[in-house]
Amino acid sequence: MGIEKLIKQKKARIAIIGLGYVGLPLALLLSSRKFETIGIDRDKNKIKLLNSLKLPMAEKEPGLKDLLFKSKKHFKAILPTAKVDADIFIVIVNTPVDKLNKPNNEPVLSASKFVAENIKRNSLVIIESTVAPMTTRDIIIPALEKYSKLKVNSEFYVAVCPERIRPNHVIKQLTTFSRVIGGSSPTAAQVAKLLYSKITSGNLDLTDTVTAETVKTVENASRDVQIAFANEMALLCERLGVNVWDLREFVNKDPFKNMLKPGAGVGGHCLPEDPWLLNASTGNISEFIPTSRKINDNMPRHVFSLIIKSLNIKKINPKNAKLLILGLAYTEDCDDYRNSPTEKLVRILKKKKINYKIHDPLIKNYNFKNLYKLAKEIDCIILMVSHSYYNNINLTNLSHFMRTKIIIDGRNFFDKKKAQNLGYLYKGVGNV
């Protein structure tokens, strides 16, 4: 039976290579929709947890645990050692950049080799990983043909369908957001569209693989540039004595403006990496990309400068200071701390031999129950992530535990006036 029919009748067996923050929800969603789904991942512990119906990460992701239980009849997780009998292979592995901001295609190529060793005539291979434009056409497809000895477009199909989800909204966005699908041929795009029409109610725009890869990397590069603009305006506002948050509110009253939020930095597995993928594939001619990345990557260092300024005002030698950092994750209400701005700040503190502790309500080993006890004898609280958990902080109580009352606010989280009335020295990014 042709692949189209298999998809229409939900008889297509689907292999998902990479059970991360995107791959796992997709695998569970497909299996909950009665597609026979095999999840493949290199991480033994992840496989073990999943097969005993436990989530290896993103435990707080709304709806994910239910999906895991709903999917048990049609889902199994395996290591990439066994042969896999599937009609559709979806590759969602990470695509890191190296120290020189060049794409590291090892994970996606090793996944493609595994796929090539398992595809058969009429298979559909989908690349959901965010790759540098031209990677699928010039690197992945040749690898698939080499290791499978099959010919693309006549014996198997390839499509690029980048994901557009973010933590705490994954299932909803997977099932409602529009997707762009780039096919190795128009037929390949059409076949992939058939599958995604079973997943999302959003529009499915068809194009070629290079355009699809470029859409994804431009989406995130443009977001990174916009955040960098907001961060740079925060630095300007500090020199003007203007509150950047008032500025942003008033600017955005213009219906044609949308200034994003300045903050303590830009983390995650997308924005710090995807712009470099685009830059690398276009001969590094961009001005915006490196400049924006530099501004955003410098924000944790700016937070550090606010810490030092505040300690100086209070005549505390940084070497004797005790800091408490609130938030390790890269964004609020999430347990993912890849490329986290806090890790950058901590690297600076370590180099300067400054004493610090980290609290994060969602991350093991940092989710200390009693924040006030943790704040005992602390001179300075640095809010790096606006987890909802921190809404319960009572600044009056906190001040009784602290040795010196300094707040460095990386996300405009606390009320500056209120903190000052309680005797805190308050410095916020863009609001000093």
Strand partners, 89: 15, 125
Q: In terms of CB distance, is 247 or 271 closer to ligand SAJ?
A: 271
Minimum Å gap between C-beta 236 and ligand SAJ is 16
Strand, helix or coil for residue 375: coil
CB of 7 to ligand SAJ, least distance (A): 24
In single-letter form, the type of residue at position 198 comes to K
Residue in 85, 79, 82 with CA at minimum distance from that of residue 17: 79
Per CB under 6 A, residues contacting ligand SAJ are 130, 163-167, 220, 223, 227, 260-261, 263, 266-268, 270-271, 274, 330-331
Which of the residues 193, 216, 322, 405 is marked catalytic?
216
CB of 112 to ligand SAJ, least distance (A): 20
Distance of CA 70 to the CA centre of its chain: 26
* Nearest distance, CB of residue 162 and ligand SAJ, angstroms: 7
Question: Per the structure block, which two tokens stand in for 307?
Answer: 């810490």
- Comparing CB distances to ligand SAJ, the nearer of 65 and 261 is 261
Q: How crowded is residue 331: how many other Cβ atoms within 10 Å of its Cβ?
A: 22
Long-range Cβ pairs for the range 28-32 (8 Å, 24+): 28/64, 28/67, 28/68, 28/70, 28/71, 28/75, 29/67, 29/71, 29/171, 29/174, 29/175, 29/199, 30/199, 31/71, 31/73, 31/74, 31/75, 32/67, 32/70, 32/71, 32/74
**Please, which residues bridge with residue 205 across strands?**
180
Nearest distance, CB of residue 385 and ligand SAJ, angstroms: 7
Catalytic residue, chosen from 237, 270, 334, 380, is 270
Least gap, CB of 334 to ligand SAJ (angstroms): 8
Taking the least distance from each CB to ligand SAJ, the nearer of 123 and 292 is: 292
Q: Which DSSP string do the residues of 72-119 spell out, in sequence order?
A: TTTEEEE-TTS----SEEEE-----B-TTS-B--HHHHHHHHHHHTT-
E-strand spans in 168-213? 179-183, 204-208
Minimal distance, residue 324 CB to ligand SAJ, in Å: 20
148 versus 281: smaller Cβ distance to ligand SAJ: 281
State which residue, 65 or 223, has the beta carbon closest to ligand SAJ. Answer: 223
Residue of 370, 413, 360, 243 whose CA lies nearest to 424: 413
- Catalytic (active site) residue 270: yes
Choice between 176 and 370, CB closer to ligand SAJ:
176
The answer to whether 378 and 323 have CB atoms below 8 angstroms apart is yes
Q: Which amino acid is at 258?
A: N
Q: Which helix (H) or strand (E) holds 396?
A: helix 395-401
- Residue 377: phi and psi, rounded to 5, are 70, 15
Largest CA distance in the chain: 77
| Interatomic CA distance for residues 361 and 367, integer angstroms | 4
Kindly tell me which of 35 and 330 has the beta carbon lying closer to ligand SAJ. 330
Which backbone phi and psi does 123 adopt, to 5 degrees?
-70, 160
Cβ-based nearer residue to ligand SAJ, 107 or 147: 107
**Beta strand 179-183 with 156-160: parallel, antiparallel or unpaired?**
antiparallel
Output the smallest distance, CB 215 to ligand SAJ, in A: 11
Catalytic residues: 216, 270
